[in-house]
Homo-oligomer: A and B are copies of this chain.
Protein backbone atom coordinates (compact mmCIF):
# COMPACT_ATOMS: atom_id res chain seq x y z
CA UNK A 1 0.00 0.00 0.00
CA UNK A 2 0.82 3.54 -0.44
CA UNK A 3 0.47 6.84 -2.18
CA UNK A 4 -0.91 8.30 -5.22
CA UNK A 5 -2.88 11.38 -4.43
CA UNK A 6 -4.35 13.13 -1.46
CA UNK A 7 -4.65 16.43 0.18
CA UNK A 8 -2.53 18.57 2.38
CA UNK A 9 -3.26 18.82 6.02
CA UNK A 10 -3.05 15.33 7.39
CA UNK A 11 -2.84 14.41 11.00
CA UNK A 12 -1.51 17.67 12.41
CA UNK A 13 -4.42 19.98 11.75
CA UNK A 14 -7.35 18.40 10.01
CA UNK A 15 -9.78 21.24 10.51
CA UNK A 16 -12.58 21.19 8.03
CA UNK A 17 -11.70 24.63 6.79
CA UNK A 18 -8.18 23.67 5.86
CA UNK A 19 -9.28 20.42 4.39
CA UNK A 20 -11.53 21.97 1.85
CA UNK A 21 -9.02 24.61 0.87
CA UNK A 22 -6.26 22.23 0.05
CA UNK A 23 -5.31 20.49 -3.14
CA UNK A 24 -2.96 17.74 -4.19
CA UNK A 25 -0.24 20.23 -5.02
CA UNK A 26 0.13 21.62 -1.55
CA UNK A 27 -0.73 18.47 0.41
CA UNK A 28 1.73 17.63 3.11
CA UNK A 29 1.47 13.99 2.11
CA UNK A 30 2.04 14.40 -1.59
CA UNK A 31 5.52 12.94 -1.54
CA UNK A 32 4.18 9.65 -0.32
CA UNK A 33 0.69 9.83 -1.72
CA UNK A 34 1.13 11.47 -5.10
CA UNK A 35 3.22 10.03 -7.85
CA UNK A 36 6.33 12.06 -8.38
CA UNK A 37 5.59 11.15 -11.97
CA UNK A 38 2.54 13.36 -12.16
CA UNK A 39 3.13 16.71 -13.84
CA UNK A 40 1.53 20.01 -12.90
CA UNK A 41 -1.00 19.60 -15.65
CA UNK A 42 -1.93 16.14 -14.47
CA UNK A 43 -2.19 17.38 -10.92
CA UNK A 44 -4.77 19.97 -11.80
CA UNK A 45 -6.79 17.38 -13.65
CA UNK A 46 -6.52 15.12 -10.64
CA UNK A 47 -7.54 17.87 -8.25
CA UNK A 48 -10.65 18.53 -10.23
CA UNK A 49 -12.02 15.02 -9.72
CA UNK A 50 -11.17 14.54 -6.07
CA UNK A 51 -13.88 14.89 -3.47
CA UNK A 52 -12.83 15.84 0.00
CA UNK A 53 -15.55 14.38 2.15
CA UNK A 54 -16.31 15.48 5.65
CA UNK A 55 -14.24 13.73 8.30
CA UNK A 56 -15.39 10.30 9.39
CA UNK A 57 -15.87 9.59 13.09
CA UNK A 58 -14.32 6.65 14.86
CA UNK A 59 -15.81 3.36 13.69
CA UNK A 60 -17.55 4.94 10.70
CA UNK A 61 -17.15 3.14 7.42
CA UNK A 62 -15.42 4.44 4.32
CA UNK A 63 -17.10 1.61 2.45
CA UNK A 64 -18.45 -1.82 3.24
CA UNK A 65 -17.94 -5.28 1.88
CA UNK A 66 -20.25 -5.77 -1.13
CA UNK A 67 -20.86 -2.05 -1.56
CA UNK A 68 -20.83 -1.10 -5.21
CA UNK A 69 -17.34 -0.05 -6.16
CA UNK A 70 -17.17 3.39 -7.65
CA UNK A 71 -14.24 5.14 -6.08
CA UNK A 72 -10.88 4.66 -4.48
CA UNK A 73 -9.92 6.57 -1.35
CA UNK A 74 -6.78 8.27 -0.10
CA UNK A 75 -6.38 8.67 3.64
CA UNK A 76 -5.54 12.27 4.49
CA UNK A 77 -5.52 11.88 8.24
CA UNK A 78 -6.42 9.22 10.74
CA UNK A 79 -6.13 5.47 10.42
CA UNK A 80 -8.30 2.91 8.74
CA UNK A 81 -8.59 -0.84 9.05
CA UNK A 82 -9.96 -3.11 6.37
CA UNK A 83 -11.67 -6.36 7.23
CA UNK A 84 -13.86 -9.03 5.77
CA UNK A 85 -16.37 -11.37 7.34
CA UNK A 86 -15.38 -15.01 7.23
CA UNK A 87 -17.85 -17.74 6.30
CA UNK A 88 -18.63 -18.28 9.96
CA UNK A 89 -19.45 -14.61 10.45
CA UNK A 90 -16.32 -13.54 12.27
CA UNK A 91 -14.29 -10.48 11.43
CA UNK A 92 -10.88 -10.83 9.81
CA UNK A 93 -8.70 -7.72 9.70
CA UNK A 94 -6.91 -7.67 6.36
CA UNK A 95 -4.92 -4.47 6.74
CA UNK A 96 -4.19 -1.23 8.53
CA UNK A 97 -3.84 1.91 6.45
CA UNK A 98 -2.07 5.15 7.31
CA UNK A 99 -2.23 8.72 6.01
CA UNK A 100 -1.12 8.94 2.39
CA UNK A 101 -2.18 5.39 1.63
CA UNK A 102 -4.91 4.27 -0.76
CA UNK A 103 -7.78 1.90 -0.07
CA UNK A 104 -10.48 0.39 -2.23
CA UNK A 105 -8.40 -1.08 -5.06
CA UNK A 106 -9.75 -4.53 -4.31
CA UNK A 107 -13.16 -3.53 -5.69
CA UNK A 108 -12.17 -3.12 -9.31
CA UNK A 109 -12.49 -6.63 -10.68
CA UNK A 110 -15.89 -7.50 -9.25
CA UNK A 111 -17.22 -3.95 -9.23
CA UNK A 112 -17.94 -4.25 -5.54
CA UNK A 113 -15.74 -4.03 -2.50
CA UNK A 114 -14.40 -7.30 -1.16
CA UNK A 115 -13.59 -5.81 2.24
CA UNK A 116 -15.05 -3.22 4.58
CA UNK A 117 -13.00 -0.18 5.58
CA UNK A 118 -13.62 1.51 8.91
CA UNK A 119 -11.95 4.48 10.63
CA UNK A 120 -9.98 3.56 13.75
CA UNK A 121 -10.32 7.17 14.84
CA UNK A 122 -11.51 10.39 13.25
CA UNK A 123 -10.26 10.31 9.68
CA UNK A 124 -10.28 12.62 6.67
CA UNK A 125 -10.59 10.90 3.34
CA UNK A 126 -10.12 11.96 -0.29
CA UNK A 127 -12.47 10.21 -2.67
CA UNK A 128 -11.43 9.65 -6.28
CA UNK A 129 -14.25 8.33 -8.48
CA UNK A 130 -12.85 5.36 -10.32
CA UNK A 131 -14.37 6.43 -13.62
CA UNK A 132 -12.32 9.59 -13.40
CA UNK A 133 -9.19 7.75 -12.33
CA UNK A 134 -9.60 5.52 -15.37
CA UNK A 135 -10.18 8.42 -17.70
CA UNK A 136 -7.12 10.21 -16.35
CA UNK A 137 -5.13 7.01 -16.76
CA UNK A 138 -6.06 6.85 -20.40
CA UNK A 139 -5.12 10.48 -20.91
CA UNK A 140 -1.92 10.51 -18.87
CA UNK A 141 0.37 7.50 -19.20
CA UNK A 142 2.11 8.53 -15.97
CA UNK A 143 -1.18 8.27 -14.16
CA UNK A 144 -1.87 4.85 -15.65
CA UNK A 145 1.56 3.73 -14.66
CA UNK A 146 0.98 4.98 -11.16
CA UNK A 147 -2.32 3.19 -10.84
CA UNK A 148 -0.65 -0.04 -11.93
CA UNK A 149 2.12 0.67 -9.48
CA UNK A 150 -0.26 1.20 -6.58
CA UNK A 151 -2.00 -2.06 -7.20
CA UNK A 152 1.25 -3.85 -7.59
CA UNK A 153 2.38 -2.46 -4.24
CA UNK A 154 -0.76 -3.73 -2.63
CA UNK A 155 -0.04 -7.17 -4.09
CA UNK A 156 3.51 -7.13 -2.79
CA UNK A 157 2.35 -6.05 0.64
CA UNK A 158 -0.27 -8.76 0.79
CA UNK A 159 2.30 -11.33 -0.24
CA UNK A 160 4.62 -10.17 2.50
CA UNK A 161 1.84 -10.67 4.98
CA UNK A 162 1.23 -14.13 3.55
CA UNK A 163 4.89 -14.96 4.07
CA UNK A 164 4.66 -13.67 7.61
CA UNK A 165 1.54 -15.60 8.47
CA UNK A 166 2.78 -18.82 6.90
CA UNK A 167 5.95 -19.15 8.79
CA UNK A 168 6.43 -16.96 11.75
CA UNK A 169 6.01 -17.14 15.46
CA UNK A 170 3.94 -14.71 17.52
CA UNK A 171 7.10 -12.71 18.32
CA UNK A 172 8.06 -12.39 14.67
CA UNK A 173 4.59 -11.36 13.59
CA UNK A 174 4.34 -8.64 16.16
CA UNK A 175 7.86 -7.43 15.43
CA UNK A 176 7.01 -7.18 11.77
CA UNK A 177 3.92 -5.13 12.47
CA UNK A 178 5.81 -2.75 14.75
CA UNK A 179 8.59 -2.38 12.20
CA UNK A 180 6.08 -1.76 9.42
CA UNK A 181 4.42 0.98 11.44
CA UNK A 182 7.82 2.43 12.25
CA UNK A 183 8.71 2.57 8.54
CA UNK A 184 5.44 4.17 7.62
CA UNK A 185 5.85 6.76 10.32
CA UNK A 186 9.31 7.54 9.02
CA UNK A 187 7.84 8.07 5.56
CA UNK A 188 5.57 10.71 7.06
CA UNK A 189 8.47 12.34 8.92
CA UNK A 190 7.25 11.16 12.29
CA UNK A 191 9.30 9.40 14.90
CA UNK A 192 10.14 5.86 13.82
CA UNK A 193 10.91 4.80 17.39
CA UNK A 194 8.16 6.29 19.47
CA UNK A 195 4.52 6.30 18.49
CA UNK A 196 0.99 5.49 19.44
CA UNK A 197 -0.60 2.36 18.03
CA UNK A 198 -3.85 3.40 16.40
CA UNK A 199 -5.44 -0.03 16.73
CA UNK A 200 -6.58 -2.17 19.63
CA UNK A 201 -4.87 -5.33 20.81
CA UNK A 202 -7.86 -7.21 19.52
CA UNK A 203 -7.34 -5.82 16.03
CA UNK A 204 -3.63 -6.60 16.16
CA UNK A 205 -4.33 -10.15 17.27
CA UNK A 206 -6.97 -10.61 14.63
CA UNK A 207 -4.79 -9.23 11.87
CA UNK A 208 -1.80 -11.36 12.82
CA UNK A 209 -3.75 -14.56 13.36
CA UNK A 210 -3.16 -14.62 17.12
CA UNK A 211 -5.29 -14.26 20.22
CA UNK A 212 -5.43 -11.10 22.34
CA UNK A 213 -3.81 -12.95 25.20
CA UNK A 214 -0.85 -13.93 23.08
CA UNK A 215 -0.41 -10.37 21.83
CA UNK A 216 -0.49 -9.12 25.38
CA UNK A 217 2.06 -11.69 26.53
CA UNK A 218 4.41 -10.92 23.65
CA UNK A 219 4.29 -7.21 24.43
CA UNK A 220 5.05 -8.20 28.01
CA UNK A 221 8.03 -10.30 26.98
CA UNK A 222 9.35 -7.53 24.71
CA UNK A 223 9.02 -5.12 27.58
CA UNK A 224 10.80 -7.46 29.96
CA UNK A 225 13.76 -8.14 27.68
CA UNK A 226 14.30 -4.51 26.80
CA UNK A 227 13.12 -4.64 23.19
CA UNK A 228 10.19 -2.28 23.61
CA UNK A 229 8.72 0.03 26.10
CA UNK A 230 5.00 -0.52 26.10
CA UNK A 231 2.65 1.84 27.80
CA UNK A 232 -0.79 0.93 26.74
CA UNK A 233 -0.86 2.05 23.11
CA UNK A 234 2.29 4.12 23.37
CA UNK A 235 5.23 2.18 21.98
CA UNK A 236 8.91 3.02 22.13
CA UNK A 237 11.38 0.85 20.30
CA UNK A 238 14.38 0.44 22.60
CA UNK A 239 16.33 -2.13 20.64
CA UNK A 240 15.52 -2.19 16.97
CA UNK A 241 18.08 -4.87 16.19
CA UNK A 242 16.44 -7.23 18.64
CA UNK A 243 13.15 -6.46 16.95
CA UNK A 244 14.62 -7.09 13.54
CA UNK A 245 16.67 -10.09 14.50
CA UNK A 246 13.61 -12.28 14.43
CA UNK A 247 13.24 -11.46 18.06
CA UNK A 248 15.27 -14.24 19.58
CA UNK A 249 14.33 -13.64 23.17
CA UNK A 250 16.98 -14.19 25.77
CA UNK A 251 15.71 -13.35 29.24
CA UNK A 252 12.55 -15.41 29.05
Contact = CB atoms under 8 A, between A and B. Distances in A.
A24 interface: no
21 contacts: A84-B163, A86-B167, A92-B163, A92-B166, A105-B151, A105-B152, A106-B155, A109-B150, A114-B159, A134-B141, A134-B144, A137-B138, A148-B151, A154-B155, A155-B158, A158-B158, A158-B162, A161-B162, A162-B162, A162-B165, A165-B209
A90 B163 CA distance: 11
B208 A153 contact: no
Contacts of A87: 246
A176 to B, nearest CB: 10
Contacts of A151: 105, 108, 148, 151-152, 155
A147 B108 CA distance: 10
Contact of A144 (B115, B144, B154): B144
A207 interface: yes
| Max chain B Cβ within 10 angstroms of own Cβ: one of A86, A147, A162 | A162
A193 interface: no
A105 B162 CA distance: 16
Copies of this protein chain in the complex: 2
A149 B90 contact: no
Given A141-B138, A144-B144, A166 B165 contact: yes
Nearest to A88: B246
A208 B209 CA distance: 13
Interface in A61-93: 84, 86-88, 90, 92
Interface string A114-147: 1100000000000000000010011001001101
A182 interface: no
A93 to B, nearest CB: 8
A206 to B, nearest CB: 7
Contacts of A105: 151-152, 155
Contact of A207 (B108, B153, B166, B209): B166
A153 B246 contact: no
B155 A144 contact: no
A156 interface: yes
Contact of A109 (B88, B109, B110, B153): B153
A55 interface: no
A149 B130 CA distance: 12
A92 B167 contact: yes
